[in-house]
Amino acid sequence: MLYLRLFGPITVEVNGEPLPSLRSRRGLYLLALLTLRANRELSRVWLAGVLWPESDDSQGLENLKRSLTDLRKALGPAAEQLLSPTKHTLVLRLASEQADVLTFDQALRKDTTESLEQAISLYRAPLLEGYYEVWATEEREPRHEAYFRAVEQLALRKREQGKLAEALPFLRQAVVRDYLREGLQRLLMEALAASGNPLAATEVYRELRSTLRRESNSNPSTETTALYNRIRALASAPAPPAPPTPPPAPAPPVLRRVPLRYNLPRPLTALIGREREQAAITECLSNACLVTLTGTGGIGKTRLALETAWEQQKAQPDGACFVDLAPLRDPNHLPHLCAAALGLKEIDKQPIIEALVEHLRPRALLLVLDNCEHMIDASAELAGLLLQSCPNLQILTTSRQPLGITGEVVWRVPVLETPTHSARPEELTELIERYAALKLFFERAQAVQPDLVLTPETVEAAIEICQRLDGIPLALELAAARARTLSIEQIARRLDDRFKLLTGGSRIALPRQQTLRALNDWSYDLLTPPERCLLTRLSIFHASYSLEAVEAICADGAGLEQGDVLDLLELLVNHSLVLTEESEEGQRRYRMLETIREYSRLMLPETDWPPLSERYQAWYQQLAHAAETNLLGSEQAHWLACLDAEYHNLRHAIVLSVGEQHLELCTNMCRYWYLRGHWTEGRAQLLEALARPDSPQGTPARAQALMWAGNLARNQGDYAAATHCFEESLALRRALHDGRGSASILNHLASVLLEQGYYERAQALYEESLALCRELGETKGIARALHNLGLLANEQGDNERAMTLYTESLALSRSLGDRYLEANDLQNLGDVAVDQGDYQRARSLMEQALAIHRELGMEAGIVSLLMDIGKIELVLGGYEAAQTLLEESLELNQSLGDQRGIAQSLNSLGLVALARGELATAHTLLLQSLPLGQRRPLLTCLIALAHLARREDKLARAAQLLGAADRLRENMKGAYTLLEKQLYDDDREQLCESLGMASFSAEYGAGYALTEEAAQLLAGQ
């Protein structure tokens, strides 16, 4: 079920869950535009022109295509409501109850009392709030006016029914949204008077009069003034006499209240990107009497508390009071500081605590205690006493650690949201608007450097700054202040020495908020020596970490005992210096913000580093070794998740290690790199490790590293490098008399040959590997050899043999608990089913395989299955679905650096374009796949380009391409796929008829005579 809210910021839910993040904000714009015109066919050209007015038609349509693919992927099952009736149009099928704006419009059309109330309730904020595009404004204004008309009509109907007081909530809300609408102000005054509160009605008039005089030097209309006079006369009429009551007992004159309701400091700049946080804090205050905002220094606790206090001041009968504890040094003076902030003066000798309680007990007030961390015990004691004694008091505190008293709600202030990807030129402005950290940085930078120009390079540098400063508002403001004298790119480059760079804070700020170093010194000075010891040692971690890792690495039995680590870690969490999070497996993990980690590294004694580094390397070496031995077993998913969580720490351990340990750690990581698709990184790390002067020679570890280097090169289509690595590894294995290792390398060498189309040589090596594995009783090796022989049989068109081999391999992989090989066997059985025309069985097998790969997080397996399922959709005529799947596969292949996969995705997309009659697009895509150079995609290209040439009436070229395809297929000793065979047979029949058999044979023969290199040149013409 799809549901959209367009009043306020856009929110979208699919089956009750939020829509996953889109790559670009324009994807949301597209969805909003389609929703506003739901159930109407819209021209793609018009949509592209509205959403990308700065682009020409072709670029706009390309942008629309990308956003549409991204949107469909995010919508998941709800994407079936987003249709393309023709290739030039789009339509979103929605029922009126699936979008608040559609329900709103329908309710207004009904025009009943109930429907008006429904429409008004739906209007939670202006339509598409925060979106300033022209089309959004054009949609927003009519509905804004319709909302106010609805409120007025509802109030008038209630007045006719003698129930005007029932309209009070709607009128109040409307007047807040536009206080200059006198008609609504008059109805509000009438409603208040009708509800028995004429004094409140006269106050509405006085506020309106004051506002008009201040903003436009005018007065309320004669009609409004006359209403005010009538209500005032009603309010001043004498009330019936009440029975006499005894005079109240005189209260002891302890403190005299000075009317100082509004003592809140006025912020000098706008708060950016904290709307959700403010709403969450307000929600907490509605359910609790004590809320503590915690978080690291500079995170924005004070600013959020102030904004909340300004908002609450209007709701609290006695307003809000702000007490800054930062200057306080003596905890005994805390009650006096509160009394002063409340505007109270001591006039006798009653204890100050008792006097505060006497004063606050009858009041409904929000008391803000700011910067409590250095007075934590005194703050907790005072807050507890006041809350027990004052039933209508609420307290909002800010502190780097909780107060720790009963009833306290702790709310951790998060960092500002920061982009994780690079910016394209067309989305610079929307990227800044979307991410609060980026918006804050640029607003503050432009305040000191008004001539600052947004360019892709500037935004890229700003993204780096936001990421490296962890989205901490104060750190970003200090960095932005440097824009007076440095470019944004220069600021980013200098962040390695951030504690010297970020020193230019406001002169009126507290000293600890004027530099990044002072901000962290304040927190560090509040720690005990054992807490400082653990904090500095935690700086060796480069990402999140487990309790077990901290105990093993940071405890040395001298300065820090292992048994003390947990308690100290929890104390650092309470101080907001260490954050906690849960892993995917539900395990608690810890981490520090990068700024705190770098500060802690500065404070680490140099004598602590060597033994700390040794324990760190040993721990992660042990972890990588344990994972490597379990990654192909039944606990594969667990170990993949474990290495995912520890990935950055493992990278750091590789950097720290040397010699044989370095090569061993890299080799132990290879299976993870392979399974997760981190091929480029893994290959680079291995080649660097093998080339180091301290790298061991002639050892099993070197042979294993060479094998993995070859495997990763093969996955990226670098067959020459792969062959070189495999042959060097095989020579080492044989020299070491390692039969099991030799069998594995033979299998890999055969796969390189298979992928290049050298089937006979591949079969010989596969069979040699299988025989060696059977001799050694190596079950895993047997399963893999059978699987690969199945691949070879399938390529050669021997479906029965392929099915037998895959089935035997599948049984072995399941007995071994090797989920990865099981998924590959299922996928390849699906390929056989495709060749046999059994598409239902093929899809079932492939969906089973895809589920396993998604469960394991195997990107390489996922992308391969996306391609295969896309091809099934192509054969069945589901061109839109095929294109979506294949475009996703292309993006994933590009991110993996998989040249084979890129070629295959481009190749298949070319076939989709060909089937849809988009001949120019098909030609471009097919040619793009050629230079990536494998024989299998070349064969598909030759067949597809022959079909394209025939349709373009280039008959001689078509015949030559068919001849070249037949020659290549025979050289490979392979077979055409079902789709290729259909194209080939149709084209050959048509060409023989059109050219005549003699001419066809001559042109076909010319193509057949071409070498593979010449055939590729012919295809590329």
Q: Within a domain: residue 638?
A: no
Based on its alpha-carbon atoms, the radius of gyration of the chain, rounded to whole angstroms, reads 36
Residue 407 belongs to domain with CATH number = 3.40.50.300
Distance CA 480, CA 500 (A): 14
Q: Within a domain: residue 189?
A: no
Which pairs from 500-504 meet CB under 8 Å and 24+ separation? 502/475, 502/478, 503/478, 504/478
Reduced to 3 states (helix: H, G, I; strand: E, B; else coil), residue 753 is helix
In contact, 889 and 866? CB cutoff 8 Å: yes
Q: 3-state secondary structure string, 841-884?
A: HHHHHHHHHHHHHHHHCCHHHHHHHHHHHHHHHHHCCCHHHHHH
In contact, 208 and 179? CB cutoff 8 Å: yes
Strand segments, DSSP code E, in 204-299 are 255-257, 290-294
Per-residue pLDDT reduced to its tens digit, 678-722: 888 899 999 999 999 988 888 988 999 999 999 899 888 788 999
Q: How many of the other CB atoms lie within 10 Å of CB of 559?
A: 14
Question: What H or E segment, with its residue span, contains residue 944?
Answer: helix 935-951
Same domain, 370 and 279: yes
In contact, 302 and 329? CB cutoff 8 Å: no
Same domain, 363 and 401: yes
Reduced to 3 states (helix: H, G, I; strand: E, B; else coil), residue 476 is helix
| Structure tokens given for 536 | 């500095």
Residue 766 Rama label (left phi>0; alpha psi -120 to 50; beta): alpha
Per-residue pLDDT reduced to its tens digit, 413-444: 888 888 876 656 556 777 788 888 888 888 88
Same domain, 295 and 393: yes
Same domain, 919 and 959: no
Distance CA 985, CA 987 (A): 6
The predicted pLDDT at position 395 comes to: 93
Same domain, 981 and 866: no
Strand segments, DSSP code E, in 150-222 are none
Same domain, 390 and 465: no
Same domain, 436 and 405: no
Q: Within a domain: residue 878?
A: yes
User: What stretches in the chain show pLDDT beneath 70?
Assistant: 54, 130-132, 214-216, 235-263, 268, 345-350, 421-427, 497-516, 518-519, 522, 584-586, 632-634, 895-898, 931-934
Q: How many of the other CB atoms lie within 10 Å of CB of 471?
A: 24
One-letter amino acid at 392 equals: N
| Structure tokens given for 329 | 């040094």
Reduced to 3 states (helix: H, G, I; strand: E, B; else coil), residue 977 is coil
Q: Within a domain: residue 76?
A: no
Residue 830 belongs to domain with CATH number = 1.25.40.10
Same domain, 970 and 878: no
**Domain residues for 387?**
274-412
User: In 3D, which of 757, 732, 752 has the Cα closest to residue 742?
Assistant: 732
List, in sequence order, every residue forming a beta bridge with 366; answer none if it has no partner: 320, 394
Give, in degrees to the nearest 5, the angle at Cα 435 between 433 and 440: 80
Q: Within a domain: residue 748?
A: yes
The predicted pLDDT at position 722 comes to: 92
Q: Within a domain: residue 545?
A: no
Q: Domain boundary residue among 892, 925, 958? A: 925
Q: Within a domain: residue 241?
A: no
User: In 3D, which of 106, 111, 112, 122 has the Cα closest to residue 38?
Assistant: 106
Domain count, the chain: 5
Q: Domain boundary residue among 851, 872, 890? A: 851
For tokens 């907790």, the residue is: 380
Give, in degrees to the nearest 5, the angle at Cα 725 between 720 and 729: 150
Distance CA 713, CA 748 (A): 11
588-591/545-546 β-pairing: antiparallel
Same domain, 822 and 754: yes
Helices (H), 593-658: 594-603, 609-630, 636-645, 647-656
Output the CA torsion 241→245→251→255 (10° steps). -20
User: In 3D, which of 176, 178, 236, 226 has the Cα closest to residue 205?
Assistant: 226
The predicted pLDDT at position 497 comes to: 67
Helices (H), 422-580: 428-434, 436-448, 456-468, 473-481, 488-493, 498-501, 516-525, 529-538, 547-554, 565-574
In contact, 463 and 432? CB cutoff 8 Å: no
- Distances in Å between the alpha carbon of 614 and those of 38, 407, 530, 542, 562? 63, 45, 21, 16, 17
Q: Domain boundary residue among 802, 834, 851? A: 851
Q: Within a domain: residue 592?
A: no
- Chain CA centroid to CA 545, Å: 21
DSSP conformation letters of 760-815: HHHHHHHHHHHHHHHHHT-HHHHHHHHHHHHHHHHHTT-HHHHHHHHHHHHHHHHH
Distance CA 32, CA 26 (A): 10
Distance CA 492, CA 459 (A): 11
365-370/320-324 β-pairing: parallel
For the chain, give the longest Cα–Cα distance.
126
DSSP conformation letters of 670-713: HHHHHHHT-HHHHHHHHHHHHHSTT---SSHHHHHHHHHHHHHH
Reduced to 3 states (helix: H, G, I; strand: E, B; else coil), residue 830 is helix
Exposure string for 351-379, b = 16+ CB within 10 A, e = fewer: ebbebbbbbbeebebbbbbbbbbbbbebb
DSSP conformation letters of 70-139: HHHHHHGGGGGGEE-SSTTEEEE---GGGBHHHHHHHHHHH--HHHHHHHHHH-SSSBTTT---HHHHHH
Same domain, 400 and 442: no
In contact, 859 and 676? CB cutoff 8 Å: yes
Exposure string for 971-1005, b = 16+ CB within 10 A, e = fewer: ebbbbbbebbeebbeebbebbeeebeeeebeebbe
DSSP conformation letters of 486-503: S-HHHHHHGGGGHHHH--
User: In 3D, which of 497, 500, 476, 499 has the Cα closest to residue 488?
Assistant: 476
DSSP designation for 6: -
Helices 44-51 & 26-36 angle (0-180, nearest 10): 130
Same domain, 910 and 939: no
Reduced to 3 states (helix: H, G, I; strand: E, B; else coil), residue 591 is strand
Reduced to 3 states (helix: H, G, I; strand: E, B; else coil), residue 1014 is helix
For tokens 């829509």, the residue is: 19
Same domain, 436 and 307: no
| Structure tokens given for 221 | 């209309």
